[in-house]
């Protein structure tokens, strides 16, 4: 039976989801490089990256948002990416294959109370977006650029006095040697990507200066923002026909 659904893309826009990653030149010897130096190089390299994967986990609700976890993976310079969001019992996915093909998938937990989404039983299949909605979905690609600005504004907005108090150490993260910089989350305009954070820790690989993780910490706990697959994400393809639901998305 063919069903009709209304615009779900407003929900995605409400998340303010953004995406971050970076790649910098290997640092010279003599201990950790200066934060401003490594951040300038990292920002430029991030802006030149063609693809990456971003994962966010916020089980302690540090950011005071409905989204508890998110993943974004894809190309930064073309319409080809995948987004997955977990939002208080409702799991949503967006798959943009190109400028003419986009899909959405949703799943509702048994305990979730949402009559509208519960009425849309697609058995885990994708819903093909009409041409009228593809442009809205493609707009999520802007999150790459906005997140770059958001992340580095935390560093660029620090005063000289705050820069003098930055904590840095050489440590390990997931078995890799990293430089860890801890800064106060005081910069203006840091948007809801880091809302609620009191301090933010940046982790750069010592070998390559790649930014692999950012931790946002408050009294509530820590939200983790992890980055991988820089310049290595392969193009996403459209789902098979038997993975697409017979659902008429009309307005």
**What does the DSSP assignment read for 31-47?**
SSPPHHHHHHHHHHHHH
Residue 173 lies in a domain: yes
Comparison of pLDDT for 144 and 112, the residue scoring more? 144
For residue 73, the tally of other CB atoms under 10 A from its CB is 19
Encode pLDDT of 229-241 as tens digits: 889 999 999 999 9
Beta strands in the chain (DSSP E): 51-57, 67-75, 81-87, 90-98, 101-108, 127-128, 167-173, 176-184, 199-205, 211-218, 221-228
Question: pLDDT category, 144, cuts 50, 70, 90?
Answer: confident
How many structural domains is the chain composed of?
Answer: 1
Give the domain range for residue 200: 9-242
3-state secondary structure of 9: helix
Residues 222/199, Cβ–Cβ less than 8 Å: no
Question: pLDDT category, 25, cuts 50, 70, 90?
Answer: very low
CATH of the domain at 154: 2.50.20.20
Residue 251 lies in a domain: no
Q: What is the mean pLDDT of the chain?
A: 79
Return d(Cα 162, Cα 115) in angstroms, integer. Answer: 49
Nearest to 65 by CA among 92, 85, 82: 85
Residue 249 lies in a domain: no
Comparing 64-78, 184-198, 208-222, the range with the smallest average pLDDT is: 184-198
Residue 218 lies in a domain: yes
Residue 248 lies in a domain: no
Encode pLDDT of 193-225 as tens digits: 788 899 999 999 988 888 999 999 999 999 999
Residue 250 lies in a domain: no
Residue 106 lies in a domain: yes
Question: pLDDT category, 23, cuts 50, 70, 90?
Answer: very low
Residue 72 lies in a domain: yes
């Amino acid at each position: 039976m063919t069903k009709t659904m209304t615009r779900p893309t407003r929900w995605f826009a409400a998340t303010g989801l953004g995406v971050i990653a970076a790649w910098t030149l290997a640092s010279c010897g003599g201990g950790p490089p200066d934060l401003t130096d490594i951040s300038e190089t990292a920002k430029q390299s991030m802006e030149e990256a063609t693809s990456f994967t971003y994962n966010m986990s916020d089980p302690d609700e540090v950011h005071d948002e409905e989204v508890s976890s998110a993943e974004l993976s894809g190309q930064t310079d073309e319409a080809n990416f995948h987004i997955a969001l977990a939002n208080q019992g409702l799991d949503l996915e967006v798959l943009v294959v190109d400028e003419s093909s986009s899909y959405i998938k949703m799943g509702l937990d048994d305990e979730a109370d949402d009559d509208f989404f519960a009425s849309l039983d697609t058995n885990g299949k994708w819903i093909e977006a009409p041409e009228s909605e593809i442009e809205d979905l493609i707009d999520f690609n802007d999150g790459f650029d906005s997140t770059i600005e958001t992340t580095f504004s935390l560093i660029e907005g620090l005063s000289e006095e705050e820069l003098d108090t930055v904590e840095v150490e050489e440590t390990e993260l997931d078995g890799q040697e990293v430089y860890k910089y801890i800064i106060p989350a005081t910069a203006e305009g840091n948007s809801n990507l880091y809302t609620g954070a009191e301090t933010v820790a940046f982790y750069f690989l010592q070998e390559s200066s790649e930014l692999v993780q950012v931790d946002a910490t408050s009294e509530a706990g820590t939200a983790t923002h992890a980055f991988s697959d820089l310049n290595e994400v392969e193009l996403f393809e459209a789902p098979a026909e038997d993975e697409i639901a017979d659902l008429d998305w009309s307005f």
